[in-house]
Amino acid sequence: MNLRFLEAFVWVARLSSFKAAADKLCTTQAGISSRIATLEEQLGVRLFERDRRSVTLTFQGTELLPMAESMLELHAKMRAAVGSPQVSSGTLRIGVMETVVHTWLPALLSRFSRRYPQITIELQSDTSPRLRDELLRGRLDVAFQTEAISEGFIENRGIAMLAMRWVAAASLPLAPGTLRLADLAEWPIISFQRESVVYRSVLAAASGGELRTPLKVSFFSSLAAMIELAKTGFGVAPLPVAVVQREVERGELVLLDVDPPLPPLPVFASQRAEPALAEVDELIALAELVCAEFLAAARPDVAQPPAPPRLSAVKRKS
């Protein structure tokens, strides 16, 4: 049983509020909700009755509360008796997709390192499918990527929804006005890899049957390479607006109006629920803040509503 989940349960019960418990434990309300949902799933019962005005314990929650408090008290006594004060240290293994690398990652790591100067950061930048696999194999502690992970014992937190647009070099002779996917199919498509949510959205748009010629797609794992190729006029690319702001401002790339538009790109923070690491919780909370600041200072079309789900269920598959 994860003590972090029991701690969240106890404080929600004592304060009758998810928000107050989050403030008490220096985390987010979504994080508290995630822990309670996981605990309820593990026990197979509902612990709280929730409505807009109040949070009350169920019969099972009332039965659990004194036992949970006893476990936390015993844990505190164990730490006091045989533990030793220590500063957070060790290695934190972080996986990030390139969109994050090119936007708010430097600010996040800078602030986190000031908070935890004795923690060594081990960073892996890769595609979202590969980051997912590395997280499930236990080779990462947290991954910032594009899909909520339902396998394994993973907590997912929505960080942002980034606007996606087709982009091309200003020199590419495209017709003015709103374009159709069939118009773009006359040019090579510079795409993220086949497993990506972006490429799947392009395929979904192409399934309408209006294409005059098949899509000519080139796949890349490097976002930087995609941007550079688009700037040369090699083809058109579906990219997050956030990563091409400077190129658009300098006139090296133009944002195309295409019907249907591309769906927004989600950014999720996915962490291993066990073993629980308080430093990862703080990293994710800080990521939310840093990302929000980045979006507030960016072009108005960089973020795209609606916001992603703040919480996704944690599931364990046998």
Please give the average per-residue pLDDT across 40-58, as a whole number. Answer: 89
The most distant pair of C-alpha atoms in the chain lies apart, rounded to whole Å, by 74
The pLDDT of 261-281, averaged and rounded, is: 85
What is the band of 82 on the pLDDT scale with cuts at 50, 70, 90? low
Indicate whether 108 and 66 sit together in one domain: no
Count the Cβ atoms, other than its own, within 10 Å of residue 141: 19
Q: Among 82, 99, 116, which residue terminates a domain?
A: 82
| Beta-bridge partner residues of 161 | 266
Residues 270 and 158 in one domain: yes
Count the neighbouring beta carbons within 10 Å of the beta carbon of residue 194.
Answer: 11
Looking at the structure, tell me whether residues 76 and 203 fall in a common domain. no
Statement to judge: residues 170 and 253 lie in one domain: yes
Give the count of domains, the chain.
3
Shared domain check, 252 and 168: yes
Q: Is residue 285 part of a domain?
A: yes
Classify residue 95: in a domain, yes or no.
Answer: yes
Q: Are residues 178 and 153 part of one domain?
A: no
- Asked if 134 and 191 sit in the same domain, the reply is no
Q: What is the mean pLDDT of the chain?
A: 86
So what's the pLDDT on residue 176? 79
pLDDT of residue 52: 75
Check residue 1 and report its DSSP letter: -
Locus of tokens 């004592």: 14
Is residue 317, in this structure, part of any structural domain at all?
A: no
Residue 247 is assigned to a structural domain of this protein: yes
CATH of the domain at 13: 1.10.10.10
Q: Is 117 inside any structural domain?
A: yes
d(CA 140, CA 267) in angstroms, rounded, equals 17
Band of the pLDDT at 34, cuts 50, 70, 90?
confident
Considering the domain architecture, whether residues 198 and 120 belong to the same structural domain is answered as no
With respect to residue 140, please indicate whether it lies within any of the assigned structural domains.
yes
How far apart are the C-alpha atoms of 304 and 164, rounded to whole Å? 9
Is the per-residue pLDDT at 9 higher than 70?
yes
For residues 22 and 272, the answer to whether their CB atoms sit within 8 Å is no
| Of residues 50 and 211, more confidently modeled | 50
pLDDT of residue 5: 87
Q: Please indicate, yes or no, whether residues 116 and 185 belong to a single structural domain of this protein.
A: no
Residue 246 in any domain: the answer is yes
pLDDT of residue 276: 65
173's tokens: 């002779």
Domain-embedded: residue 62: yes
Q: Which of 51, 66, 82 is the last residue of a domain?
A: 82
* pLDDT score for 126: 94
Rounded to whole angstroms, the Cα distance separating 150 from 270 reads 10
Q: Let me know whether 9 and 143 are in one domain.
A: no
DSSP string, 37-91: HHHHHHHTS--EEE-SS-EEE-HHHHHHHHHHHHHHHHHHHHHHHH-------EE
Q: What is the pLDDT at residue 175?
A: 76
Q: How far apart are CA 126 and CA 107, in angstroms?
A: 19
**Does residue 153 carry a pLDDT above 80?**
no
Q: Which two tokens stand for residue 101?
A: 């690398």
The CATH number given to whatever domain includes residue 96 is 3.40.190.10
**What's this model's pTM, rounded to 2 decimal places?**
0.72
Q: Which domain holds residue 132?
A: 90-162+265-297
For 138, left (φ over 0), alpha (ψ -120 to 50), or beta?
A: left
What is the C-alpha to C-alpha distance for residues 214 and 216, in angstroms, rounded to an integer? 6
Say whether both 169 and 234 belong to one domain. yes
Check whether residue 145 and residue 225 sit in a common domain.
Answer: no
